[in-house]
Structure 1
């Protein structure tokens, strides 16, 4: 019931926002969308499945993490995404709080 109330509150807030302007900024993905597409966009953001990844300890140096731009060194905790990209685990966890896609392959499923 809590999830339903949350979604209804968001829907009501989103409806109010869309009635005030032509373009709105999604509170989840931060994209700007036309008000007539806002409801569909919000549902997609709320129901989009989370990306999973394999977690491991890096065994050898692997170059640069493209999120933090620091070197990935042997012993670092890493995350390997389905597209086979690797990042520091802490970096990709923070990234996923803002976007639900690979930083280098946003369209990869």
Structure 2
């Protein structure tokens, strides 16, 4: 029984309370952890991105891309995620290559929600 208690204590020491860390401590932690890419591969981006044209779809709630903040033009290629939010295709591809989440609602763009 003593071994279980000891292992729990060891794991307790490994947990970090990032909410109570100073700015400098957070920077140091970031340096130790390094960059973690949670983005998608090109093939995954193509599977989760439906393409629409703003002139065809009158259901676009926003008339501008939430990523670049430019208004949609008739010739723009617009992509829609499963959550229903739409963006310029080139903007959302770049976003999804870094993070597997909708920039607006944070729902997973590909894979398990």
Give the structure-2-normalised TM-score.
0.51
Q: How far 1:96 sits from its partner (Å)? A: 1.1
CA contact (8 A) 2:51 2:77 kept: yes
Higher RCO (CA-CA < 8 Å; seq separation 6+): 2
Runs of 4 or more, structure 1, over 6 Å off, are none
Greater CA radius of gyration, 1 or 2? 2
Is 1:90 aligned to residue 90 of structure 2?
yes
**Structure 1 unaligned residues grouped into runs of 5+:** 1-20, 30-44
Q: CA RMSD in A?
A: 2.9
Q: Secondary structure at the match of 1:98?
A: coil
Q: How many residues align?
A: 72
If each structure's strand is expressed as a fraction of its own residues, which one has the higher value? 1
Post-superposition Cα deviations, 1:80-106, rounded to whole Å, max 9, x if no partner, equal 100000000010011112111110121
**Structure 2 unaligned residues grouped into runs of 5+:** 1-27
Residue 74 of structure 2 aligns with which residue?
A: 74
Q: Secondary structure at the match of 2:93?
A: helix
Q: Distance in 2 between matches of 1:107 and 1:57?
A: 23
Q: Distance in 1 between matches of 2:52 and 2:63?
A: 16
Is 1:103 aligned to residue 99 of structure 2?
no
Post-superposition Cα deviations, 1:24-53, rounded to whole Å, max 9, x if no partner, equal 133313xxxxxxxxxxxxxxx79xxx4501
* Residue from 52, 55, 64 that aligns with 1:56: 52
Residue 34 of structure 2 aligns with which residue?
A: 25
